[in-house]
Amino acid sequence: MVYYLYEFFKDYDIPGLGMLQYISFRSSGAIILSLIITMVFGKKLIRFLQKKQIGEEIRDLGLEGQMDKKGTPTMGGIIILFSIVVPTLLFAQLHNIYILLMLITTIWLGLIGFIDDYIKIFLKNKKGLAGKFKILGQVSLGLMVAATLFLSNEVVVREKVLGADGKPLKEIVIDKETGQQAVKYVTADVKSTKTTIPFFKLNEFDYEWLVAFMGKGAANLKWLIYAIAIILIITAVSNAANLTDGLDGLATGTSAISGATLGILAYVSGNVIYADYLNIMYIPNIGELTVFISAFIGATVGFLWYNSYPAQVFMGDTGSLALGGILAVFSVIIRKEILIPLLCGIFVLENLSVIIQVSWFKYTRYRFGEGRRVFLMSPIHHHFQKAGIPEAKIVTRFWIVGIILAVLTIVTLKIR
């Protein structure tokens, strides 16, 4: 909305109006407003939830200090969603297809999480929303994202045009002001299923390669493979974030770290100068996502004010499902989804710990007649709790690991 004020008044000589067109200024406004909303209205939401007795039902798992959390207000994810959506609506270009996709993702998964929390709290059904309905919602979102990336003419990447010899074409450009000549590559904006591979010099992978054996049919079938990949990524990361939300501030802090990293990647991918310098894929109009991710960072950091140990409020599935889904869709849009195992390593570790624990328990029960465990308890953050490590120390160490993974993710821009 702020951007459109610039468009409306740009013919008038209003001091400072030009700042409204810059992504850096609008991103700063988004993160500041998001922090203000979260911290000001967060306290009011907590009081409201306490008044309505909307508290967390805690199962006794034998963890130290666990039962002390019983009755802590939940569904705090509402304020996270509000703090993301409102600043985005105010500061972002709402005609940008990527911004629209991220708003839909936020609201869609937030609604699924809200329904799950509502069933648990108000209908007193501890199982919440049936797993098949959660998966259905995540798959539906994946289909929407894939269809948009396939059908929208605004979703393109800028590639170098190759000549008959397979080498990039070049052209001589004359600067109108100086009259100097410069040699530049010939480029074109094209529809593509390419993404980025870390640590490789020729660091682009095309999903079409997976169906190259189909010959001419590969050009169409690649979009099906791409859609399946998107669905799997959204489902996996969204559920992994949900599993990670088991200690005070763990999912919130980890999401903020991942969000900040994705913001850097989006900014350089949407800036033609930085993209050319770093030799990475340039995606027109993607830089606008910096405004959205700034609101995301502000919302998660602001929520930590109340969610850090000892938590005054839990986000519930309303927040955790949305946070994971946002990171997944954002990664897909900026063509960095292969970096997810590195960037979101904490989420991956949490997910794998559950899969390993359940699989090994079932196998040993079938093989030896008695189920055995790899971890003291899963997800893995509970394993460390069982080992006697204080909750706050576990969360802080996970954050440190998350920061290290974020730095490594950014380093992939240069180490190839």
The DSSP 8-state label assigned to residue 157 in this structure reads E
Domain boundaries, the chain: 23-156+216-270+283-346
At 170, the pLDDT band (50, 70, 90 cuts) reads confident
Return the pLDDT at 381. 93
Return the pLDDT at 211. 84
Are 244 and 346 contacting, i.e. CB atoms less than 8 angstroms apart? yes
Write down the residue that tokens 């559920």 correspond to: 239
Write down the residue that tokens 């000892």 correspond to: 310
Question: In this prediction, what percent of the chain has a pLDDT beyond 90?
Answer: 60
Between 237 and 16, the higher pLDDT residue: 237
Between 121 and 261, the higher pLDDT residue: 261
Count CB-CB contacts under 10 A for residue 20: 19
pLDDT tens figures, 23-81: 998 999 999 999 999 988 988 888 888 887 777 666 666 676 666 677 788 889 999 99
Are 307 and 103 contacting, i.e. CB atoms less than 8 angstroms apart? no
65: helix, strand or coil = coil
pLDDT tens figures, 339-386: 999 999 999 999 999 999 999 999 999 988 889 999 999 999 999 999
168: helix, strand or coil = strand
Return the pLDDT at 242. 92
- 84 φ, ψ (degrees, to nearest 5): -90, -50
Return the pLDDT at 68. 65
Q: Name the token pair of 278.
A: 């770093």
Spatial separation of the C-alpha atoms in residues 191 and 197, rounded to whole Å: 18
Return the pLDDT at 56. 67
Query: Between β-strands 181-185 and 187-190, what pairing exists: parallel, antiparallel or unpaired?
Result: unpaired
Query: If you average pLDDT over residues 140-164, what whole number do you get?
Result: 90
